Structure 1
Amino acid sequence: MKKLFLYVFVLSFLSSCISSKKLTYFQGEPAEKSDLYRLNNEPYRLQVNDVLYIDIKAENPEIVALFKNSESSTTTEGGEGLYFTGYTVDRHGNIRIPYIGDLNVLGYTEKEVREKIEQELSKYVKKVESLFVTVKLAGINFVISGEVGSPGTINLAQNQVSIVDAIASAGDITTYGDRENVVVVRKTLDGVQKFKINLLEIDVFESENFYVKPNDVIYVAPLKQKTWGFGATGLQTFTTLVTVFSFITTTILLIQTF
């Protein structure tokens, strides 16, 4: 009986601890630059629900002011402020600009949208060369949940957000998070897509899904050790197992007494 208890104790201890290999990011050696580097650095193409920051400047500020949503849209604001003063891509792929009306931007890059706006403004402004139009995506908005420090909806005011940026902005993955099983759910023009990313491997930097897209949903699954309820470290597991086996031994002794 004692040998059986010892065997079960050792087996449970070894299987319940979280090894350092499960917690160490970017293991291995980086591969040579591939074609994925080019794909990951291609400009983003706008989708429905994206929010744009658009600023227009010219010699005559009174004229260009007519084409702006509001004066506050020319200032630098966070994601919440730009929700009201920015230009949201509607479900038809259009943004609505005063006097210009609906302008289709679905699938366009920031540069292409800027050129379209300049072309429309040239109908109203005599000195086209004096126009200076700025078009930027109003940050990358995404949702992150699961085994992270601070789950929720996050907006990062960056042109590109990698999966590493996203995880870091959410307070990193907890000890019980499965770094091999980070799931990204993405809604595209072709439908909903689902990807799995392994953050333990250095090859993640070469993944075509390394960069987060606006409105992505990121989920970090828990390790099986969390379900077992033992502990993340060897000391925690040892303490838990000692408590459990002490309870079992005490129960057996009481039964034998009676």
Structure 2
Amino acid sequence: MKGKILGIFLVFLLVSCKTKQNAKNDLNYMQNIEKVATESSVKNSNSTIQVGDQLVILITAKDMDVVKPFNQNYFSSEVIQGNSFAGGNTPNQGISTIAGPTYIVDSDGNIDFPVLGKLSTKDKSLVAFKDELRDRMTKYVINPSVNVRLANFRVTILGEVNKQGDYTIANGQATILNALGLAGDLTMYGKRDDILVIRTENGTITHGKVNLQDANLINSPYYNLKQGDAIIVSATKIRDLTSKQNPNTGLYLTAASIAVTAIAVVVSLFKK
């Protein structure tokens, strides 16, 4: 009898350990990263400028007096010496950004820039627009430095994450991993293999699913985020079950376990 009980206990222990190991693996990201090519992720990173975007444009040169007309008479030693216009994919939430002249893209995709007049941003990425502006500036300034960034790059993160909300990406570039990091990562109840991304671009709404456990994620068009993206993390079935349970269920089970143990001890004493 004792042998049977021990055997049942060992089987239960092995199944329990295997279940825990599988659960642990389910929480791991990018599990097959060594087998995935990453070349195509670069082409997805350059989103085009959209109507309503707020562009911060700062022109600098060796002689700052020469570029004053192009900066709307805006000048500050803090702005000139700062480097927050540098690239990179690490978002900074809550960090003060460097100020500068801001231009809002109108309904026709244009901005009204000093001296140069109306400039079209339609179907252009920030990099392409920056290069075009630099070329036009060379007619007026020797070796100008042109910095262009998006001031209102925001994404929304909802669902099974630790900190839901709207997040502003300071440098205007972010991957879905960066954004979820800002939200404190997924909770243990978040579905890591079924994350929905909703995107509005050029007036068209599209959506797609990504799997954080699959390294092919980096080749998805939804890996690099775009302005206004919404990320929705669904809950697992376990979350659904726990949400429907009585909050005192755990206490009841604990009490029942203690009661059963106490009865077993009493019966054992009487048998002696």
Q: Please give the TM-score of this superposition, normalised by the length of structure 2.
A: 0.66
8 Å contact from structure 1 (residues 51, 87) kept in 2:
yes
Aligned-residue CA RMSD in angstroms?
A: 3.7
2:110 to 94, 98, 105: 94
Q: For the Cα contact (< 8 Å) 1:146–1:220, is it kept in 2?
A: yes
Q: Which amino acid aligns with 2:28?
A: T
Distance 1:34 1:188, change over 3 A: same
**Partner Cα distance (2:98, 2:159) in 1:** 28
Shift of 1:168: 0.6
- Alpha-carbon offset, residue 26 of structure 1: 2.3
CA-CA distance at 1:159 after TM superposition: 5.5
Aligned to 2:4: none
- Match for residue 114 of structure 1? 130
- 8 Å contact kept, 2:51–2:107: yes
Match of 1:31 among 31, 35, 40: 35
Cα pair distance change 1:190/1:159, threshold 3 Å:
closer
Which of 70, 75, 88 does residue 71 from structure 1 map onto? 75
**How far does the alpha carbon of each residue in 1:59-108 deviate from its partner, in whole angstroms, 9 at most, with x for none?**
54334222224336936577986798422323321222233332111221
User: Following the alignment from structure 1 to structure 2, what is the Cα–Cα distance between the partners of residues 130 and 206?
Assistant: 37
How big is the shift at 1:53? 2.6
Structure 1: gaps (5+ residues): 1-13, 247-258
Q: Distance in 2 between matches of 1:240 and 1:85?
A: 60
| Kept after mapping to 2: 8 A contact 1:144/1:219 | yes
Q: 1:92 to 1:244 in 2, by over 3 A?
A: farther
CA 1:50 to 1:79, structure 2 compared with 1: closer, same or farther past 3 Å?
farther
Show the counterpart of 1:219.
Answer: 232
> Taking structure 1 as reference, are residues 63 and 129 closer, same or farther at Cα in structure 2, changes over 3 Å only?
closer
The amino acid that maps onto 1:168 is G
Paired residue secondary structure (1:161): coil
**Equivalent in the alignment of 1:55:** 58
Name the CA distance, whole Å, in 1 between partners of 2:170 and 2:40. Answer: 24
Q: Does 1:239 align with 2:242?
A: no
- TM-superposed CA distance for 1:221, in Å, is 1.3
Contact 1:51-1:82 within 8 A present in 2 as well: no
Measure the CA separation in 2 of the matches of 1:240 and 1:207.
45
Taking every aligned residue pair, what percent have the same amino acid on both sides? 26
Q: Is the Cα contact below 8 Å between 1:25 and 1:199 reproduced in 2?
A: yes
TM-score, structure 1 as length reference: 0.70
Pairs aligned (count): 224
Partner of 1:256: none
